[in-house]
A and B are shown apart, each in its own frame.
Chain A
């Protein structure tokens, strides 16, 4: 029997022409079919393929989830700063390091700041803790924010008002409360204005319900007028926490903060700078970053080791096949391309699964307690980089093994 199937890949080539043919065939290496072949090799071994996907998904999930929660916690440390949208600059005692530990200023500080050229307006802003008691005796510390009586500067944005209006804060004993605080003091009740509770034996009447950013602590957030706030916490010699400043048109925030510091001796920072001051304080003085960093590090190591080892074993088990492909005329470059493709495919699938798991986690765990926790795009991008690192490390050993592979090994039984 003689086969009639004759496939001429090319016309016969004279020996002297081989160099030219080699040049001509550069780049024509059957990449489509060989890529398909690489993927068939990869997905054929279901157990290892699944293990690879699992290792990368697990790492991607853990890293994104932990990094996002860390980001959420750090964001919470500056939530009261972020919620003040109408001021450009915060002025404070030079000893102040972050928003939750305030060294009070003298009341005269407001006037001194107002006198600095480039200041459009400057108003007092109180930030402190008070004790609130509901009608049923429920008791809790609250974060109390006192806004300038005249301008109400520092009030929540109108879009954050779930019920009530900013102007209603001018009513006697008026307070805004954030949604989770309302649910704490009035559990199971629908959002409703007119509810009352007590702070320092003073009546507080809910005239607005706010979607305030979640604070670092889980305390309810209350807004009231500055004068009212002083009643709620009890009069002391110095109670002015911050001076909020709006810069005049054409003045840069950087110049203004410098001028305020020079002229008044107080510390002046932009809202953004103050936010980062608070974040860095928590980063430096708490074990939070170490704790989350450890988890992320372990996820990275476990992912790299498991994925690397599994991928390497996968290559070792296919070494004969790679050798046969080499013998049949597959170039090293093509084999490297095949391995990288395999690695990138498991990386992409693992990353996608990991992101899906993380998104599911944040949707399922959504509650008052987890306010402000969401998937940070920065965490997603960072995790993508980590996954790329994992698959590159995983494929590196395999690539080395295949590159040094003697094709003659296919003849060794």
Chain B
């Protein structure tokens, strides 16, 4: 399996002097293309910091990072932005939809950013929303959509430009259990493809069943990795990030 994300010894410090805090402590992780990986762990364990680094929104203090075969540190700042623009899709906890745009226009935003003509972009966004079952909500403002519908719009926005890596931050935390499950069901169907990796940060154990690999984090380290679609298939391995001389994750497929 081709590797989408490779993190080796990723360390991240915030602040300076007495206020200096270490968010990540030499973390190793690999995520393959075609996988839906979940990062789980208590608040403050470094999940959000890790996906921010993987998404190129933060720089690691130390360590090696490779995303889709590219080392972000080798790219200029502008090239990093263009790399992110083309290859990454985002789903945020609070959806972060633009309140003044309709559902279709919100989905089209990554295409606007990429320079696609507005009409064409909205047309394509409308088609995608239609496929996601929101064809009758194209001209609705986010405020007129339910939480589940808003998150589906956000998912469509993450998919519209066909990125190879999708990063989701607590995609179900603002939704009730039933809606969260439905959204994840839909998401895992439309987002997971052999040429794409999906990383989901979550606290919500009810959606673990959708993961191909679950990395448990604690105190800035990956302390446990569960692997295989559907938990409880006996593919659980317990690894620690200290064992940097051997692969953190052994592929079973």
Contact = CB atoms under 8 A, between A and B. Distances in A.
A2 B96 CA distance: 24
A13 B69 CA distance: 11
A119 B148 CA distance: 92
B90 A41 contact: no
B186 interface: yes
Contacts of B48: 408, 411-412
Nearest to B185: A1
A40 B113 contact: no
Contacts of A18: 70, 75, 79, 82-83
A28 B98 CA distance: 23
Given A32-B118, A408-B52, A7 B111 contact: yes
B79 A411 contact: no
A323 B127 CA distance: 26
A19 B77 CA distance: 10
A408 B104 CA distance: 25
Contacts of A29: 115
B93 A411 contact: yes
A329 B101 contact: no
A36 to B, nearest CB: 6
A2 B98 CA distance: 26
A413 B172 CA distance: 12
A114 interface: no
B114 A324 contact: no
B118 A5 contact: no
A5 B100 contact: no
A3 B84 CA distance: 22
Interface in B170-200: 170, 173, 186, 189-190, 193
Interface residues of A, number: 48
A29 B153 CA distance: 24
Interface in A379-410: 406-408, 410
A33 interface: yes
B114 A413 contact: no
A7 B115 contact: no
B86 A10 contact: yes
A4 interface: yes
B76 A32 contact: no
A327 interface: yes
B111 A5 contact: no
B169 A411 contact: yes
B113 A7 contact: no
Contact of B90 (A40, A324, A331): A324
A329 B80 CA distance: 9
B93 A327 contact: no
Interface of A: 1-10, 13, 15, 18-19, 21-22, 25-26, 28-30, 32-34, 36-37, 40-41, 43-45, 320-321, 323-325, 327-331, 406-408, 410-413
14 contacts: A2-B189, A2-B190, A2-B193, A3-B132, A7-B111, A10-B86, A19-B79, A33-B117, A37-B112, A40-B98, A44-B99, A328-B90, A329-B82, A406-B58
